Amino acid sequence: MAARACGCVKDSLTYYMMYKMLRNRFGYLDWWPGETNDEIIIGAILTQQTSWKNVERALANLKESHAVNLKKIGRMNLKKLENLLKPSGFYHQKARRLKAISKYIYNNYISLDELLSKDRVSLRKELLSLDGVGKETADSIILYAAEKPAFVVDAYARRILNRVYGIDTDIEYDKLCVMIEGAIKRDLGLYKDFHAQLVELGKRHCRLKPVCKGCPINEHCAYFISLTK
pLDDT tens digits for 51-93? 999 999 999 999 999 999 999 999 999 999 999 999 999 999 9
Are both 54 and 129 inside the same structural domain? yes
Helical segments of 6-51, H only: 15-26, 37-46
Give the pLDDT mean for 20-48. Answer: 93
Give the pLDDT mean for 132-156. Answer: 96
Are both 137 and 42 inside the same structural domain? yes
Are both 125 and 180 inside the same structural domain? no
Number of domains in the chain: 2
> Sorting pLDDT into bands at 50, 70 and 90, what band is 106?
very high
Instruction: Report the predicted TM-score, pTM, of the whole model to 2 decimal places.
Output: 0.92
For residue 162, the enclosing domain spans 15-29+152-228
- Per-residue HEC secondary structure of 103-158 comes to HHHHHHCCCHHHHHCCCHHHHHHHHHCCCCCCHHHHHHHHHHCCCCCCCCCCHHHH
Distance CA 4, CA 12 (A): 6
7 pLDDT above the threshold of 70: no
Lowest mean pLDDT among 42-46, 207-211, 225-229: 225-229
Q: What is the CATH number of the domain that holds 84?
A: 1.10.340.30
Residue 30's pLDDT is 77
As a whole number, the mean pLDDT across the chain is 93
Exposure class string for 172-193: b at 16+ Cβ within 10 A, else e: eeeebbebbbeebeeeeebbbb
Residue 229's pLDDT is 76
Give the alpha-carbon dihedral of 144, 119, 121, 182, to 10 degrees.
70
Position 178 in a domain: yes
Residue 34's pLDDT is 84
> Sorting pLDDT into bands at 50, 70 and 90, what band is 199?
very high
Position 1 in a domain: no
Are both 125 and 157 inside the same structural domain? no
